[in-house]
């Protein structure tokens, strides 16, 4: 949707099922649509793989022989190292290039019905190069996301995964943990609904994200997530031992500078 509004290119939607493609056409999110992946990618200058994280490597490997010589392939997965480290080998032979990207925007909602044309405006997009990724491909990837309004910068794929475990995958995990803890208490169906206010709703919101996609993300980033979850369990135990002194962090100037606009 952001691309068709931006203009300057022809957007081809490739999918497995006809119905979502028809909806994408109706919403003008794509100019044409096909369920034939080979036909969809063979003339493309840029291919963006929007698949669950565990499908990206096989998909990128499948399409490689069909791509134009200077094609740029990107993905939008939330985990980067396992993808980039495999594809840097598969795409090492030259021709089309692969750059792992992670535009950080979106919500727990899915489908073209929930597409927002300005979703990437002001969003962060991490670019992750592998060994041998051409500098020109990285520049094209950055220009692509910037043309949609994102702030794009490069990071090492392992560092990306480590930080994402902490600032994204861990919050999702906490949402699931809170939901399970609350809903399994006897009487939950009668009480949680009428007693849960903003804090419960906020903390559990992201638990409504697609469970299959998140199972893949948790699994693919398990080493970093185990470290983040372990750190959190220690922090929680420490807080309990000390009688839960609320942190002043969220109100500090330092924090407000780190998360601009995130806190009042």
Q: Say how far apart CA 256 and CA 264 lie, in whole Å.
A: 8
85-89: which pairs have CB atoms within 8 A and are 24 or more residues apart?
A: 85/130, 85/157, 86/57, 87/57, 87/60, 87/61, 87/130, 88/130, 88/131, 88/132, 88/133
- B/e letters for 12-42, b = 16+ CB within 10 Å, e = fewer, are bbbbeeeebbebbeeeebbeebbeebeebbe
Applying the rule CB under 8 A, the residues between 23 and 82 that interact with its own copies are none
Is 243 among the residues that bind its own copies (CB under 8 A)?
yes
Is 136 among the residues that bind its own copies (CB under 8 A)?
no
Residue among 168, 186, 223, 253 that touches its own copies (CB under 8 A): 168
Q: How large is the angle between the packed helices 56-63 and 81-90, nearest 10 degrees?
A: 20
Give me the least distance between CB of 77 and its own copies, in Å please.
14
Binding segment for its own copies (CB under 8 A), chosen from 57-65, 107-115, 130-138, 142-150, is 107-115
Is 127 among the residues that bind its own copies (CB under 8 A)?
no
Q: Say how far apart CA 149 and CA 124 lie, in whole Å.
A: 9
Q: Say how far apart CA 257 and CA 133 lie, in whole Å.
A: 34
Applying the rule CB under 8 A, the residues between 2 and 31 that interact with its own copies are none
Give me the least distance between CB of 179 and its own copies, in Å please.
5
Is 107 among the residues that bind its own copies (CB under 8 A)?
yes
Residue among 42, 69, 233, 253 that touches its own copies (CB under 8 A): 233
Give me the least distance between CB of 18 and its own copies, in Å please.
24
Give me the least distance between CB of 192 and its own copies, in Å please.
6
Sheet holding 72-75, edge to edge: 46-49, 72-75, 97-104, 124-128, 151-154
Q: Say how far apart CA 241 and CA 252 lie, in whole Å.
A: 24
Applying the rule CB under 8 A, the residues between 185 and 224 that interact with its own copies are 185, 188-189, 191-209, 211, 214-215, 218-219, 222
Residue among 27, 42, 55, 176 that touches its own copies (CB under 8 A): 176
Is 140 among the residues that bind its own copies (CB under 8 A)?
no
Is 179 among the residues that bind its own copies (CB under 8 A)?
yes
Residue among 25, 105, 112, 115 that touches its own copies (CB under 8 A): 105
Is 135 among the residues that bind its own copies (CB under 8 A)?
no
């Amino acid at each position: 949707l952001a691309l068709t509004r931006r203009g300057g290119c022809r957007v081809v939607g490739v999918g497995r099922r006809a119905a979502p493609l028809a909806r994408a056409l109706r919403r003008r999110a794509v100019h044409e649509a096909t369920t034939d992946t080979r036909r969809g990618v063979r003339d493309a200058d840029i291919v963006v793989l929007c698949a669950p994280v565990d499908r990206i490597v096989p998909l990128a490997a499948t399409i490689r022989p069909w791509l134009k010589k200077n094609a740029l392939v990107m993905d939008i997965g939330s985990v980067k190292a396992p993808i980039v480290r495999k594809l840097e080998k598969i795409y090492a032979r030259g021709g089309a290039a692969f750059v792992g990207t992670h535009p950080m925007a979106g919500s727990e909602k899915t489908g073209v019905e929930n597409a927002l044309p300005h979703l990437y405006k002001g969003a962060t997009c991490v670019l992750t190069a592998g060994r041998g990724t051409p500098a020109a491909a990285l520049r094209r990837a950055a220009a692509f996301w910037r043309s949609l309004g994102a702030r794009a910068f490069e990071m090492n794929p392992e560092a990306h995964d480590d930080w994402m475990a902490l600032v994204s995958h861990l919050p999702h995990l906490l949402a699931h943990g809170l939901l399970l803890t609350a809903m399994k208490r006897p009487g939950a169906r009668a009480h949680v609904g009428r007693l849960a206010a903003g804090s419960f709703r906020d903390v559990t919101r992201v638990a409504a994200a697609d469970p299959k996609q998140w199972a893949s993300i948790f699994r693919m980033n398990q080493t970093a997530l185990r470290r983040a979850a372990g750190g959190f369990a220690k922090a929680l135990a420490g807080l309990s031992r000390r009688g839960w002194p609320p942190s002043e962090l969220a109100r500090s100037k330092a924090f407000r500078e780190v998360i601009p606009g995130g806190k009042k």
